Structure 1
């Protein structure tokens, strides 16, 4: 039953991933086509992350009374419901209400804010501890394969079809993802704070992140890395393609695709070396952050679109070499009763930081130049590698 539930969760997340990729392609391209503004385009991930942060904050209240599988079903069904009126708005691209589009984007992201910590919390319930590194690598690897197809396919479709067609496909995949959850076993999570006050439930995950040195270190690293990763948001890459590389928007899809190929390669390496990941996560975390920093410096000074394809793939590889060991550490270290609340707090940190950083990189790119964004990203990744190396003993979880 565990195996069946894991593969159902696996299928659910894969289908949802494809739908999300196509959805972002449709929305970002539509808003940029209307406004021609890097700053307004960068507000798309800002709106998404702020909304996800809001739902992440209240997630502990829901997870103590509703099973994680039911949270997934409700959130993804609601997301499909909101995607339909968004598609109606894009029927006439030249006459759309930007405010209404952002309102619906916010509603969709609010539902995603419940789905992400729920799905992440279910993995340790369906997989034995010694197989967590393999499971995380398998999940990430599949996401990248489908993401590659989503970005490449979305970019190609954007050449021949309207954003409405792409968004309709997104709705189809999102609907299929809901059906896969019917085979997932409901996992009752034992909460020590079931009778606690609302405030105690809300702060339960934060107490773990702040009170435990290992989790506190990982949280600081996440903040730095989230700021760094904002250089690779879709709207920034799109502007980089047009303004710096001076090539067609098709390269937007190529660069996103090679980045995801790098993520796929990195997850495959972690899958093959899962025993090494289990025994030496701290070494891979340091290597991933340092390698990503050095490669991002080359991205900032490069002006060749062909070389950028290789560099973006390399950044993706190093990103996975860091993120998979870090995820495995959290899942092995924390007891099942605290994982949902901790993942909720982690998502709030991520979404809040990403919302702020997305706005900042939009302003930096518009007033200081797009290359400055990548120099700042590289500096932050150097900081992550230093923190990881300094705290390598804390990260040695076997």
Structure 2
């Protein structure tokens, strides 16, 4: 994969940007907690990041399909570069921080579908899993390695340098992407109004049996993971009886599993771009949720969550690869944007319902329901594909 100069340039840009994102994520969470002193204030950042996806993605998708995708990515990086500089200089008011978080997400609404749509033009279809694995692994390893360093930087030098590093990462990413040459001649989109073009993306998604199954799985997984990921700290305290280091151990276990997942795919499994390896990981994650809600053991939970991390990473890589391989090129931006809407909308609903469910029935109920939703996603995906031909 890395012998291809186009993929190498894209991978480098995405990886450098991920380095900056890691510093930004850690610094932003610590900053808003310092400014507001509440978990609700931290949740506000999550809401500020989700809202642009729900509001703008239906329109961003058609625009990504209209415009040159490399220019969309460069423009998004430059837009976020300006916002990161603002945050590095001025970060004393919660309202301003929320506004910048909202703006950063606006940039990502355009960047992410464009970046995912470009990969099939850079590599052959049978190399999509390897290409996505390379980008995913670099992102996970960046988080594992740099998150502690980001926390140390904030404590030692303050928030400004962390946000400044994020700005630098966007500048480097934009420079790398500017020289990216995408082969082929994409189909020209018949320009109508944006709503009509957005409806065309929905129609493609609904008519194609496998894409429809992927959308259903995405929605059910978001309804599960939104609550279970956010409330893992509650499970650690109330069900497992640990906090601090114990919670860190659980997070670390997921990270280790997520880093190992792509290696499992590429080294041990032949032809991983099959429905079994897209929908099967949902089932694995569902079993883990049910198990850790039933067994109050920290070592058991850590081992199970490592498997959860493997399921998350292998599922994400094969999901994106199959989506890229099956989606018609001229609607890639719209389909990826719709998947983002399903994910973020389900995540937001899950966060709201999960918090209520945990307070009324206990944290175990959240994980039992989350596990059931993931098992339903696996069953629905595998059943819909059984004996199906691509439409």
TM-score scaled to structure 1, two decimals? 0.86
Instruction: List runs of 5+ in structure 2 lacking aligned partners.
Output: none
Provide structure 1 residue ranges, at least 5 long, that are not aligned to the other structure.
91-95
Q: 1:81 to 1:318 in 2, by over 3 A?
A: same
Distance 1:45 1:365, change over 3 A: farther
How far 1:156 sits from its partner (Å)? 4.8
Q: 2:288 aligns with which of 290, 295, 309?
A: 295
- Note the C-alpha offset of 1:303: 5.0
Report deviation, 1:80: 1.6
Cα-to-partner distance string for 1:211-249 (whole Å, 9 max, x where unaligned): 22221121111100112221354x544555566666564
Out of 94, 98, 105, which is 2:101 matched to? Answer: 105
Deviation at 1:77, TM superposition (A): 1.1
Q: Tell me which residue corresponds to 2:192.
A: 196
Give the Å deviation of 1:273.
4.4
Report the Cα offset of residue 107 of structure 1: 0.8
Distance in 1, Cα, partners of 2:357 & 2:36: 18
Which whole-Å CA distance do the structure 2 matches of 1:319 and 1:88 have between them? 36
- Where in structure 2 are the equivalents of 1:176-255 lying within 5 Å? 176-186=172-182, 190-191=186-187, 193-231=189-227, 233=229, 236-238=231-233, 249=244, 254-255=249-250
Alignment of 1:349-368 (within 5 A): 349-365=342-358
Asked whether 1:49 is paired with 2:44, we answer no
Instruction: Measure, in 2, the Cα distance between the counterparts of 1:341 and 1:367.
Output: 39
Counterparts of 2:127 and 2:149, CA distance in 1 = 33
Q: Distance in 2 between matches of 1:97 and 1:20?
A: 21
Q: Any idea what the Cα deviations from partners look like across 1:272-301, whole Å, max 9, x if unmatched?
A: 2463313xx222234312211111223334
Closer, same or farther in 2 for the Cα pair 1:385/1:267, shift >3 Å?
same
CA shift, 1:319, in A, is 1.7
Cα RMSD of the aligned pairs, angstroms, is 2.9
Q: 1:61 to 1:333 in 2, by over 3 A?
A: closer
Matched, 1:347 2:340: yes
In structure 2, the residue matched to 1:382 is 375
| CA distance in structure 2 between the aligned counterparts of 1:304 and 1:169, rounded to whole angstroms | 40
Count of aligned positions: 389
Cα deviation, 1:137-177, whole Å, max 9, x if unaligned, reads 22222222112113343345556564444333333323322
Report if aligned partners of 1:59, 1:341 keep a CA contact under 8 Å in 2.
yes
Q: Which one of the candidate residues 298, 302, 315 is aligned to 1:309?
A: 302
Cα separation, 1, equivalents of 2:310 and 2:117: 25
Of 115, 136, 140, 2:111 maps to 115
CA distance in 1, matches of 2:166, 2:246: 22
Q: Which residue of 1 aligns with 2:254?
A: 259
Partner of 1:58: 59
Q: For the Cα contact (< 8 Å) 1:77–1:175, is it kept in 2?
A: yes
Q: Per-residue deviation at 1:343? A: 1.2
Offset at 1:124? 0.2
Match for residue 123 of structure 2 among 124, 127, 130: 127
Show the counterpart of 2:9: 8
Secondary structure, aligned partner of 1:357: helix
Q: TM-score, normalising length from structure 2?
A: 0.87
Aligned-partner Cα distance in 2 for 1:38–1:250: 20
In structure 2, the CA distance between the partners of 1:196 and 1:34, relative to structure 1 (3 Å rule), is closer
Shifted more, 193-202 versus 208-217: the winner is 193-202
Shift of the alpha carbon at 1:396? Answer: 7.8
Distance 1:395 1:25 in 2: 44
Residue 79 of structure 2 contacts residue 107 of structure 2 at CA under 8 Å; is this kept in 1? yes
Structure 2 counterpart of 1:140, from 126, 132, 136 = 136
Tell me the alpha carbon deviations over residues 366-393 of structure 1, each in whole angstroms, 9 at most, x when there is no partner: 5654444323221211111221232232
Residue 93 of structure 1 is matched in structure 2 by: none
- Quick check: 2:65–2:332 contact (8 Å CA) kept in 1? no
